[in-house]
């Protein structure tokens, strides 16, 4: 039996921008002879060299650029693993296949492991997981592999929904001694271009996955001297940032698209290596503009004690064109506390002051800011803002369908709440399919009752 392990390991550097990579390694139930019991010795149950290459190619479908080239990519990494009597214990998944007795006392020691660096972790982990689910009679996936596969699939979904923004990180350098009688107001330091996650769903994923991370996921290191258990959340965030950077910058771009981006902030973020060196004045202007934009974005997402809600009201039976979008607010502390803007604007000053307490200070100011931000995401909203008391706007059937198909999820990802008719939700669609099948089944049964093979009349005659 073989156990496929995987871990994201940071590079062994102290630079400002720290990278890392995802590594695969394989544990076997047939141990090799342990030549050394010193910390940092090769793991006795690992596959290495040609054995590892053959397993990766034949069982996991890893492709080689040309036959025999895979071992040249292998690197040595170190894992801090539970050990006893000078040797590592078999992993939890391997224990049923070996006869080793588990000791009462263990210690963590670093062991050298032959690893394969994975260039495209999201796709590779998903592909191996598929193979393991359908054709795995001689290998299993370790808990570390399964954890990273599930987490990277979450990141894949966030990337598909554009839950990230361009980013510039500033690094202050040790200032040179000022010239006597002179002082410089010019900005100093380094600028590093890249991308960062910007999503409530991302923060929720970090909060959910960090406590659930198996200890072995945080046990990898680039050197035996630095072998230690990383803090889970920082490791998870660093891995997510690197995977985002590789996914965005590694996406192929056409020459026409490159021309459109020439000289822009996005060009420097997509090709950060081109922006290396001493920042120019134009780049410092980019940084100041980006920092101000990011502050405004943060304020929009955090200010106010409510969420702006969009409720799509279906056209009444007698008016197929009478679709309407109703605007509401829901308190962040208690989402069940909702107020339609139409009702709000009809209140007198005293009633408004009373209800505003449930939605945070400066309610009207934050409401107008939220409406303006939402209109940039969903331009149709501008139709409802040509008044001092915005409360909603009319929609044609085509506009309502476009909202359900495209704009609704964009608004949700931007932090707004969206309420749609029940028949459009996944559960509503399932119920509709059940009702349709039931109706078809009843219709077929009725038809069989009207005419059967033993009947002397034809279907047409029976219908007549």
* DSSP bridge pairs for 4: 26, 141
Taking only the tens place, the pLDDT of each residue in 332-382 is: 888 888 899 999 999 998 988 888 888 888 888 888 888 888 888 888 999
Is pLDDT larger for residue 202 or for residue 413?
202
Total-model pTM: 0.69
Cα 233 from Cα 252, distance rounded (Å): 31
Is the per-residue pLDDT at 296 higher than 50? yes
- Bridge-based pairing of strands 107-118 and 323-331 is unpaired
In contact, 321 and 315? CB cutoff 8 Å: yes
Cα 270 from Cα 275, distance rounded (Å): 10
- Bridge-based pairing of strands 417-419 and 306-313 is parallel
In contact, 429 and 352? CB cutoff 8 Å: no
347, with CB counted inside 10 A (0-12, 13-18, 19+), is middle
Cα 89 from Cα 86, distance rounded (Å): 10
Cα 174 from Cα 229, distance rounded (Å): 31
Cα 235 from Cα 239, distance rounded (Å): 6
Question: Residue 276: its pLDDT value, please?
Answer: 60
CA-closest candidate to residue 87, choices 142, 31, 131: 31
For residue 253 the two structure tokens come to: 């771009």
At residue 244, the 3 state secondary structure works out as helix
Cα 81 from Cα 43, distance rounded (Å): 10
For residue 49 the two structure tokens come to: 């060299």
Which segment of 5-19, 123-137, 347-361 scores lowest on mean pLDDT? 5-19
Is the per-residue pLDDT at 219 higher than 60? yes
Q: How many CB atoms lie within 10 A of CB 71?
A: 17
Q: What is the DSSP string of 373-394?
A: HHHHHSGGGGGG-SSSS--EEE
Q: How many CB atoms lie within 10 A of CB 287?
A: 19
pLDDT band at 171 (very low <50, low <70, confident <90, very high): confident
Helices (H) and strands (E) in the chain, counts: 15, 14
Q: How many CB atoms lie within 10 A of CB 250?
A: 10
Taking only the tens place, the pLDDT of each residue in 25-38 is: 999 988 766 665 67
Is the per-residue pLDDT at 184 higher than 80? no
Q: At what angle do helices 200-209 and 232-249 cross, to 10 degrees?
A: 140
Q: Cβ neighbours of residue 55 under 8 Å, at least 6 residues apart?
A: 2, 26, 47, 139
Reported in sequence order, the residue ranges of 378-456 that DSSP labels E, i.e. its strands, are 392-395, 417-419
Taking only the tens place, the pLDDT of each residue in 233-243 is: 999 999 999 99
């Amino acid at each position: 039996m073989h156990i496929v392990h995987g871990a994201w390991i940071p590079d062994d550097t102290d630079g400002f921008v720290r990278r890392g990579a995802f590594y695969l390694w394989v544990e076997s139930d047939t141990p090799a002879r342990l030549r050394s019991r010193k910390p940092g010795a090769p793991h006795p149950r690992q596959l290495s060299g040609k054995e590892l290459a053959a397993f990766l190619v034949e069982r996991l479908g890893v492709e080689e650029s040309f036959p025999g080239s895979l071992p040249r990519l292998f690197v040595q990494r170190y894992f801090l693993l539970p050990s006893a009597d000078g040797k590592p214990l078999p992993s939890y998944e391997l224990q049923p296949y070996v006869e080793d007795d588990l000791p009462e006392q263990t210690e963590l020691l670093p062991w050298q492991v032959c690893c394969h660096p994975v260039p495209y972790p999201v796709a590779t982990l998903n592909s191996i997981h598929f193979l393991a689910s359908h054709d795995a009679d001689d290998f299993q996936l370790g808990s570390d592999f399964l954890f990273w596969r599930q987490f990277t699939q979450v990141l894949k979904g966030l990337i598909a929904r554009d839950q990230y923004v361009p980013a510039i990180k500033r690094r202050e350098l040790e200032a040179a001694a000022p010239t006597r009688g002179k002082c410089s107001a010019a900005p100093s330091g380094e600028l590093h271009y890249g991308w960062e996650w910007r999503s409530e769903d991302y923060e929720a994923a970090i909060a959910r996955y960090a406590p659930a991370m198996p200890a072995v996921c945080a046990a990898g290191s680039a050197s035996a001297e630095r072998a230690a258990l990383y803090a889970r959340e920082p490791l998870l965030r660093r891995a997510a940032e690197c995977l985002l950077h590789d996914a965005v910058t590694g996406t192929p771009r056409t020459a026409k698209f490159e021309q459109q981006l020439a000289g822009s902030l996005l060009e420097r973020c997509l090709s950060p290596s081109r922006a290396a060196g001493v920042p120019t004045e134009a780049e410092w202007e980019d940084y100041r503009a980006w920092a101000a934009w990011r502050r405004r974005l943060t304020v929009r997402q955090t200010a106010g004690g409510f969420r702006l809600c969009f409720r799509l009201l279906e056209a009444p039976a007698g008016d197929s064109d009478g679709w309407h979008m109703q605007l509401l607010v829901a308190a962040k502390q208690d989402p069940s506390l909702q107020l339609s803007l139409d009702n709000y604007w009809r209140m007198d000053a005293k009633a408004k002051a009373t209800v505003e307490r449930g939605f945070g200070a400066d309610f009207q100011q934050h409401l107008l800011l939220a409406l303006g931000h939402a209109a940039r995401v969903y331009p149709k909203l501008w139709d409802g803002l040509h008044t001092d008391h915005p409360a909603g706007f009319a929609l044609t059937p085509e506009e309502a369908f476009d909202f359900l198909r495209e704009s609704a999820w964009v608004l949700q990802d931007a932090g707004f709440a969206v309420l749609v008719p029940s028949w459009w939700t996944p559960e509503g669609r399932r119920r509709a399919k059940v009702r349709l099948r039931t109706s078809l089944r009843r219709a077929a049964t009725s038809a069989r009752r009207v005419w059967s093979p033993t009947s002397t009349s034809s279907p047409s005659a029976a219908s007549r």
